[in-house]
A and B are shown apart, each in its own frame.
Chain A
């Protein structure tokens, strides 16, 4: 239960088309992450799946059944929002139980379901509190609990970690991953943070300007990007793009990840403009006359002085070739 299929889905607001024909299949039990820069349409797409936005053309199907005209409450989905969106006048218990109550589920069953979800998320002792009395992390756990209680076919997450601080974000991310393993449910997750995408996803959908740029497993996108956009978006720090012509190659641009550039070797040279020591690794930023700003990622602590000239080498089989339109040349 819980496969999702999108067929040539489009969405227009007035004359502007924001989703330009998306085809996608998410299998049952899969964790699918929509990732892209802000304004790429990922949230709109999620809201269309939820039924909060109309589909202009194309089909949304859950478990093979077309749900275009079905109200959100009848699609058997649950959604977790960035702003938590808890009902301010209800206790945690009632917040989690409301959907079942609306569906006319017997009280005992609601109690059991909320109890189980609360236990899963360590919310037992907070059940009688109101959202205003909870911290940000607790509120987000309640919002996740509210989704679990419904036993939906599809879990939808709309940037659920954006309002949390860094430590809590990592913790909640791990919790979501654990829930996915335990529940085995299909989850669609929207984020602009490629680290969240890489760590959580079975399948990543990279969107730009309402178009799917590439779909694949995290490591496939990392190791085998289709174009410069995906190559630049996935991986942190960002991939370096070098002028291939200046290196005597016949492609337009050459993409090399910061960890695959090594000091020594004379093909590329640059002047150190900044050094960031992170303890476990050192990031060296160089400006090169031929290739612009380059980032090199080195393991461990390294010492470089600003304005030092450094020669760089790379392994040819670790580099990606792109044409002038940014398409990958294989």
Chain B
């Protein structure tokens, strides 16, 4: 009995800590969302109040939808994020498979080289990247952003996935070889499904920084046709006057797609974990 009570107390404590952390983490998001539904005066008068009958106002959303082409910005952000994510996962998994599966000269060095990018921020190379994009005529295209984000996401993907792929049973791969499966089939049909939880983890870690990035869209693709949501929202932030209603509304809207993507991956993640548990 005492043991059962003890564990209840322990789990209560654990939940209290987790709830506290969740509250702290969600607080800024909460403030952004509630204020996006208020009029300008109410935002400044009492930023922490929830919108009431007097303060409720959709002016922010109206401004966002009227001014600028936000549907296009969303579309750009989605294209860039999804395409980068696809390439990061594909190339990351392929490189990780090669590193973990094949013995070749310089395997270790290659692995270190590919993981180096985790420690060196890609923004250090911005000038060179811009020169490269100018030279290849890719400035103001979404392709430029996809290329840069793919490069940015690959190191972590290779690092995490190669660790996971080392854990995939050699016997299984060898059984496939004896049964006449090609290396590609072994990779796509046997190994990838087994590292799906790791893929979901990598996807989440890769996706968020890409979606939130302001730096590269501002430098490489600032044209109207290629603006992303984060860049588009900057319209409302001026040097002297900031349209807070519009900024908050834009930010609230920007949360939605990334939330949906996250939910998709996290479900994969949980499914992967339970599938592994029953073996």
Contact = CB atoms under 8 A, between A and B. Distances in A.
A72 B177 contact: yes
B165 to A, nearest CB: 15
Interface string A40-55: 0000000100111000
Interface stretch (B14-22, B115-123, B189-197, B220-228): B189-197
Contacts of A50: 174, 178
Contacts of A89: 189, 193
A79 B194 contact: no
Contact of A85 (B175, B180, B193): B175
B188 to A, nearest CB: 11
B172 A85 contact: yes
B178 A73 contact: yes
Given A83-B169, A87-B190, A88-B193, A52 B174 contact: yes
Interface residues of B, number: 17
Given A52-B177, A99-B179, A85 B171 contact: yes
A99 B178 contact: yes
A98 B279 CA distance: 21
A102 B278 contact: no
Contacts of A74: 180
A189 to B, nearest CB: 16
B181 interface: yes
Interface in B155-188: 169, 171-172, 174-181
Interface string A315-326: 000000000000
A51 B172 CA distance: 15
B180 A102 contact: yes
A132 B180 contact: no
A73 B279 CA distance: 27
Interface centre among B176, B178, B189, B194 (most CB of A within 10 A): B178
B106 to A, nearest CB: 14
A74 B176 CA distance: 13
Contacts of B190: 87
Contacts of B171: 81-85, 158
A283 interface: no
A98 B190 CA distance: 13
Contacts of B193: 88-89
A132 B278 contact: yes
Contacts of A102: 179-181
A103 interface: yes
A77 B194 contact: no
Nearest to A79: B178
A73 B194 CA distance: 23
B178 A78 contact: yes
A203 to B, nearest CB: 23
B189 A79 contact: no
Contacts of A86: 175
A188 to B, nearest CB: 13
B189 A99 contact: no
A36 to B, nearest CB: 20
B195 to A, nearest CB: 12
A81 B170 CA distance: 10
Contact of A132 (B169, B176, B279): B279
A78 B190 CA distance: 19
B208 to A, nearest CB: 30
Interface centre among A73, A82, A89 (most CB of B within 10 A): A73
A78 B180 CA distance: 11
A242 to B, nearest CB: 43
B172 to A, nearest CB: 5
Contacts of A87: 172, 175-176, 189-190
A62 to B, nearest CB: 14
A73 B169 contact: no
Interface centre among B179, B180, B278, B279 (most CB of A within 10 A): B179
Nearest to B278: A132
Contacts of A72: 174, 177-178
B179 A81 contact: no
B279 A85 contact: no
Which 7 residue pairs spanning A and B have beta carbons closest together? Answer: A73-B180, A85-B171, A102-B180, A81-B171, A99-B179, A85-B175, A85-B172
Given A83-B169, A158-B171, 7 more contacts: A79-B178, A85-B169, A85-B171, A87-B172, A87-B190, A98-B181, A146-B179
Interface of B: 169, 171-172, 174-181, 189-190, 193-194, 278-279
26 contacts: A47-B174, A52-B174, A71-B177, A72-B177, A73-B178, A73-B180, A74-B180, A77-B178, A78-B178, A79-B175, A79-B178, A81-B171, A81-B174, A81-B175, A84-B171, A85-B169, A85-B174, A85-B175, A87-B175, A87-B190, A88-B193, A88-B194, A89-B189, A99-B179, A146-B175, A158-B171
